[in-house]
Structure 1
Amino acid sequence: MVLSLLSLCASEVVRDHSSSPCWLSFVPMELFRPLLEASLSGCRPLAVGELVQRWPERTLRVRRKPAPNRLCIQALLLAVARGLLDHRCALQVLDLCGLQGDEGGDGGHDGRLVPHRGPLHHGAAGQERSPESAEGEEEEEGREEGEGRRTRASVILNLTGEEELTTTTCGISSEDELIRGVRRRMEAERKMMPTATESGSKQEVEEDSEVLVHVRADLFVNARSWERVRGALTTCGPLKLQCRYLRAEEISVSSIRALLALLPQQGLLGLDVRYSNIGVAGLAELLPLLKSFPALSSLRKLSEGLKQLQELRCLSLTALRLPGQLRVLLSSLPRPLEVLELPYLSLSPADLAFLSVSHHASTLQQLDLSENRLDETTLTSIRRLLSQASSTLQHLSLSGCGLTDNLLVLLLPSLGCCRALRSLALALNPLSVSGLMDLVKMAVKMPSLRQLLYPNPLEDYQPGLPEMPSSAQLLDWPLDEAIDVNITSSQINRALKASGRSDLLLTCDLLNYDKDMVC
């Protein structure tokens, strides 16, 4: 990426925080944004705080990429609270939508601001260390700076104001001491700000409920962060939290209901419920609440009797494991879907037969059937479904579906007819080198295709792999280091070069595959 002269100059200006008193008071309004972007990308939390505290515009949108680290986000949030009593600050709307924490996301599908301490997904790692306690002199400094700023900022602080703050060095070892000092100072200021749970603060908050700054964010809520998010949504005061996309994971139906009851009815655009085992009874309990959100256009993992949702276009039923229920779930939708994600749903042959003739088949732009076992009994339905969607389907995932060489050969003609297909994912299928090359030869003949995620061939694995391995076994089984896996890559690259398809990306990198890169 080539940086503009303005960006380069802004990076130099914010590099040395000791010089900020010399220029901060004379910065024209139009330079605040590039200076803030340079502070965020360069990990300058003190500069972030000073710029945001006197933000001259009504709206501040923090861009999603590159994602700022947690220390800078915390500095930003604290500065918003301090700016409530700063006459130079004109901020009324803080937009954090699309922002994700520096501990990482869930594979790139949809990054969200994560108000919890823990992994986004099972097995995701994110080591955190407790901050050092504030020392006397620094704590006194924070107390002096915080005097007169005791605003009811617990709403926004609860997004990232955790008991443990992440240690972040930004890769610059010479700034370790500065970072530690910033963290101690921020922690001291945060502790001094009253919350709704402190003695006497609840009554004070209720008396002054005027909202000065609206905070928009995408929220990920699980069992560990549930209480914190509920507190952020229920606390009154000058900062008002609004949610655009809500993702709830591993929480009960009653907790989801309580969250929905706290959200503004006009703001929620998408709902994603995962791994909560809510069952059909839970769906029936939640669905009547959804019609209260007229802007809801993306509903994930909730369906059955969705007649009230006239604008629904995107539906994901991830890991519900409801075999034989697809007709009940989809037939009542008033309008055809454009995005349908059914991974880990344990689809039955009857489910796939219904889908292939449903009113959704001819309008689908994205279809995810990952981790649903396909065999000879479902092949006819899959081919009919692809035929119906051949002119609209842009993204297709059949990863982990148990596709063998024989099944793939029968399916390739139908795949080749999908003339709008831009990305195809077939990872974790038990294909040999021969089957893989058949796939590659078909892919290079599809002019619309831009990305193919292919599986490692069976020959590349260590001995002992079952004759018909599952996707889980293919994921965990080690590759054979004695085999030169570059041989397979060379074969693929030769086929790609011979076709002249320099615009087609072929990859077996499951972790870094992102279909949205070709949008």
Structure 2
Amino acid sequence: MELSLLSLCAKEVVSNHSASLHWLRWVPRELFGPLLEASFAGCKPLAVGELVQKWPERHLRVGGRRKRGQRPPNRLCVQALLLAVVRGLSDIRCALRVLDLCGLQGEGPTVDSMGGWSLTIALCSMVVQARAGERKRVCALQQERGQHKRVKEENVDKRDHAEGSLGVFQGPNLMNVEKRMETKGRQEKMDGNRKECRMPLQVRADLFVNARSLERVNAALNTTGPLELQCRSLHVEEISVSSIGNLLDCLPHRGLVCVDVRYSHLGLSGLARLCHWLAAFPDLSSLCLHYCNLDLWCHLPMYEEALRDLTQGLAKLHGLRRLSLTALRLPSELREILSFLPQPLEVLELPYLSLSLADLSYLSCSRHAPSLQQLDLSENRLNAQTLPSVCRLLGQASGSLRHLSLSGCGLSDDLLGQLLPSLGCCSSLRSFDFALNPLSTASLVKVVRTLARLPSMQQVLYPNPLEDYQLGLPVLPSSAQLLDWPLDESADNITSDRLNKVLTECGRLDILLTCDLLNYNRDLAE
């Protein structure tokens, strides 16, 4: 990654922390941003703290989408940032009123970064501690005012006693002094009232909540003080439906755009209740449900009623553009769920859903198909009966589709050959994931040649071909067998070289080919 001259100079400036006391007072406000970026990039927590504590702008955004190869912020730098925000509350040089930390959390197994769960706890602790510090400051200010008032009363008593004993007027000098003291007292009172009436500093972040941190998050959201915690994206894990509802009641209705629920026992009625709660958030555009047991086979007499409540709740989500359903037991109910949504979806993720022929047939003809930008059908077994519906779906979404995942779908060489013409029509496609499919090297070469003709293609996650596995693999292995079966380590490099050679022949060296499941990041294609 090339650095600009400004970035190189900022890196050099923040490298020597001992000189910061001399240069920081002379830094123009427009250079605070490059210096803070250099401090994060060079892991300079002391420089981060000093810059944030004296931040000259009303708005500070740290986080967001990172560039390819850019590491998440260091944990020490994040901690220094949070401490500096609290210290800056009493620093008159700090103009910060909005701190945006959305997307700050690190991803993947990065040791030095701060994940979403630990960052949430740190933020909530910061909000509560800032409130406690504000209370101490107010008490100290009140004590100081009380002492000042007592001293003033004592001075008045002494003056009256002196005037009574002397019996003369002390002249205009005493009157001027009294006026100046009264003017100074009124000014201090106005400054104190202005500080007390100052609007709280808004801290916007993505919150990650589980059963262990739920109480602390609720305390922070219900705390009124110098810091106001706001949530853009809410991620909850292993929390009951009622607890999720209580958490949503603490959030302002504006600003929440994503709700991600994982490993929570919702049940179909619980999901319906959740949708009715979410209807109060007009900015909500994304709803993700991962491994949430819906119990569709239990309480059969109430199944139709619960399903009707669910569809009514979904109909109230007017801003929903992304729906992710992972491993939910929804046998042939995709039509009931998607047809009641007010707007066409742009992102639809349906991995591990055991989609039936009726589900795929409906989806290929639905009003959602032409607007889809991201489609994930991973781990849904495809065959000769369902493949025509998938081809028709790709044809409907060919003008808009940017990300497609067909990982672990049981695509053989023959099935993939039938799919390639439809895949080649997706002119806007940027990334394609088809790992863990039982394919030969010859089929991989055909896929790469097809994808190389797509002008927007940037990333491809391909499977290890069957020739790369050690002996004993079944003829048409499942995705689980492909994942666990040992590979011939020397063959992997041969396959990679051959596929990259195909890209060279097609003049598409800008496409990233990888078979690394753990480190593949689809967002880098954006």
Cα offset, 1:323, TM superposition: 2.5
Secondary structure of the 1:376 match is coil
CA distance in 2, matches of 1:499, 1:100: 38
* Larger Rg over CA atoms: 2
Alpha-carbon contact 1:211-1:240 (below 8 Å) kept: no
Q: For residue 388 of structure 2, what is the amino acid of its counterpart? A: T
CA distance in 2, matches of 1:68, 1:432: 41
CA distance in 1, matches of 2:109, 2:221: 24
Cα offset, 1:265, TM superposition: 0.5
Partner of 2:78: 73
- Give matches, 1:448-463, under 5 Å: 448-463=456-471
Matched, 1:295 2:295: no
Unaligned runs of 5+ in 1: 106-110, 118-155, 162-189
Alpha-carbon contact 2:131-2:227 (below 8 Å) kept: no
Deviations 1:316-360 (A, max 9, x none): 112323232211110101221111111122222221111111111
- Give matches, 1:10-25, under 5 Å: 10-25=10-25
- Give matches, 1:22-101, under 5 Å: 22-64=22-64, 65=66, 66=70, 67-101=72-106
Change in Cα spacing, 1:69 to 1:494, as seen in structure 2 (3 Å) is: closer
Q: For residue 229 of structure 1, what is the amino acid of its counterpart? A: V
Deviations 1:112-137 (A, max 9, x none): 961338xxxxxxxxxxxxxxxxxxxx
CA distance in 2, matches of 1:102, 1:504: 23
Cα offset, 1:81, TM superposition: 0.8
Secondary structure of the 1:396 match is strand
Partner of 2:452: 444
Per the normalisation by structure 2, the TM-score is 0.77
Partner of 1:216: 204
Matched, 1:368 2:379: no
Cα offset, 1:264, TM superposition: 0.8
Change in Cα spacing, 1:313 to 1:457, as seen in structure 2 (3 Å) is: same
233-242 vs 341-350, greater mean Cα deviation: 341-350
CA distance in 1, matches of 2:498, 2:333: 43
CA distance in 1, matches of 2:374, 2:130: 47
- Give matches, 1:85-484, under 5 Å: 85-101=90-106, 104=109, 114-116=116-118, 158-159=122-123, 193=129, 211-301=199-289, 304-305=311-312, 306-481=314-489, 483-484=490-491
Cα offset, 1:60, TM superposition: 1.2
Partner of 1:133: none
CA distance in 1, matches of 2:7, 2:456: 36
CA distance in 2, matches of 1:209, 1:429: 62
Partner of 1:489: 496
Per the normalisation by structure 1, the TM-score is 0.78
Secondary structure of the 2:206 match is strand
Alpha-carbon contact 1:95-1:216 (below 8 Å) kept: yes
Deviations 1:463-518 (A, max 9, x none): 2333332222222322123x433332233233223323334333222233333333
Secondary structure of the 2:389 match is helix
Q: For residue 216 of structure 1, what is the amino acid of its counterpart? A: R
CA distance in 1, matches of 2:78, 2:474: 48
Cα offset, 1:448, TM superposition: 4.1
CA distance in 2, matches of 1:337, 1:112: 32
| CA RMSD in angstroms, aligned pairs only | 3.0
CA distance in 1, matches of 2:277, 2:38: 43
CA distance in 2, matches of 1:335, 1:424: 26
Alpha-carbon contact 2:258-2:287 (below 8 Å) kept: yes
Change in Cα spacing, 1:332 to 1:224, as seen in structure 2 (3 Å) is: same
Alpha-carbon contact 1:370-1:401 (below 8 Å) kept: yes
CA distance in 1, matches of 2:454, 2:7: 41
Cα offset, 1:99, TM superposition: 0.9
Normalized per residue, which structure has more helix? 2
Cα offset, 1:410, TM superposition: 1.9
Change in Cα spacing, 1:49 to 1:422, as seen in structure 2 (3 Å) is: closer
Figure out how many residues of one structure are paired with residues of the other and give that number: 442
Change in Cα spacing, 1:465 to 1:249, as seen in structure 2 (3 Å) is: farther
Alpha-carbon contact 1:340-1:368 (below 8 Å) kept: yes
Change in Cα spacing, 1:382 to 1:47, as seen in structure 2 (3 Å) is: same
Matched, 1:507 2:514: yes
Cα offset, 1:289, TM superposition: 1.0
Match of 1:498 among 498, 502, 505: 505
Cα offset, 1:221, TM superposition: 2.1
Cα offset, 1:290, TM superposition: 1.2
Alpha-carbon contact 1:403-1:429 (below 8 Å) kept: yes
Alpha-carbon contact 1:68-1:102 (below 8 Å) kept: no
CA distance in 1, matches of 2:455, 2:23: 54
Alpha-carbon contact 2:124-2:217 (below 8 Å) kept: no
CA distance in 1, matches of 2:211, 2:58: 35
Change in Cα spacing, 1:30 to 1:419, as seen in structure 2 (3 Å) is: closer
Alpha-carbon contact 2:58-2:97 (below 8 Å) kept: yes
Secondary structure of the 2:92 match is coil
Secondary structure of the 2:229 match is strand
Change in Cα spacing, 1:418 to 1:261, as seen in structure 2 (3 Å) is: same
CA distance in 1, matches of 2:51, 2:456: 46
CA distance in 2, matches of 1:10, 1:413: 51
Partner of 2:147: none
Unaligned runs of 5+ in 2: 143-195, 291-309
Alpha-carbon contact 2:74-2:114 (below 8 Å) kept: no
CA distance in 1, matches of 2:410, 2:451: 19
Q: For residue 118 of structure 2, what is the amino acid of its counterpart? A: H
